[in-house]
Amino acid sequence: MGLEAERIAQVADELKIGFCGLNLAILPLADPRQPLMAIYRDLYEQTVNSPLVVYRNDGTPHSAERLTDTFAMASSTPGAGLGEDLLNFAAMHGATRLGDAIERAGLRDRTNPLLEFVRHFRNASAHGNRWHFRNGEPRQPAACRGITLTAALHGSKASGGVVGAGDYLDMLDDVAAHFRP
């Protein structure tokens, strides 16, 4: 399929690695028993009163919160709020990025159920994380492994609803395999 197809397969692989890494990182972030401050202190030579430094686009730091306050807030957030929202956001970002890459490369294939699934998941992700099927959509078969998209899903939640974390990873694997020779 060419260089563009290989690039899409690479993007799918990178999104999977990032998603899995985020999945692993969320658990210790939300668990106050984990020694995250000690790890951060050792790696970055920071104290408990050091600011959390996040840079603005112009290069200046936003440093309103202390590291210990940030870790305390993260560990006091209910697991579902932190983990579910973050993982859903990551899957939505990935679906949007992947769907856009396929479209830009001119590799959309309306007859391929997997690529139609990606297209619809991209649209749902970019528009409030809800499936939007009107005017006869989905017009073509749209499926990924055990998930088939139908008009009956209109309005329902996409990421964290119809598409679970493992389903998202399956989609990334299938897209990588589709575009890689």
Whether omega before 78 lies within 30 degrees of 0, making that bond cis, reads no
Q: Which residue, 122, 56, 57, is CA-closest to 94?
A: 122
**What pLDDT, on the 0 to 100 scale, is given for residue 39?**
77
Sequence-ordered alpha helix ranges (H) in 45-164: 67-76, 79, 85-104, 113-126
Structure tokens at 140: 């073509």
- State the first-to-last Cα distance of the chain, in angstroms, to the nearest integer: 7
CA 41-14-162 angle, 5° bins: 100
**What pLDDT, on the 0 to 100 scale, is given for residue 80?**
43
**What pLDDT, on the 0 to 100 scale, is given for residue 15?**
96
- Separation CA 10–CA 35 (nearest Å): 34
Q: β-pairing, 54-55 with 61-62?
A: antiparallel
Burial class (CB in 10 A: 0-12, 13-18, 19+), 42: exposed
**What pLDDT, on the 0 to 100 scale, is given for residue 38?**
75
**What pLDDT, on the 0 to 100 scale, is given for residue 66?**
77
Structure tokens at 119: 């297209």
pLDDT in tens, the chain (181 residues): 799 999 999 999 999 999 998 888 777 766 666 677 677 778 777 777 777 777 889 988 877 777 777 777 766 665 545 556 888 999 999 999 999 999 999 999 999 999 999 999 999 999 999 999 989 999 999 999 999 999 999 999 999 999 999 999 999 999 999 999 7
Contact 170, 147 (CB under 8 A): no
- Separation CA 157–CA 87 (nearest Å): 14
Contact 101, 8 (CB under 8 A): yes
**Cβ neighbours of residue 169 closer than 8 Å, sequence gap 6 or more:** 16, 19, 20
Q: Model pTM?
A: 0.83
Domain boundaries, the chain: 3-29+78-179
Which amino acid type is present at position 128? G
Q: How far is CA 123 from the centre of its chain?
A: 14
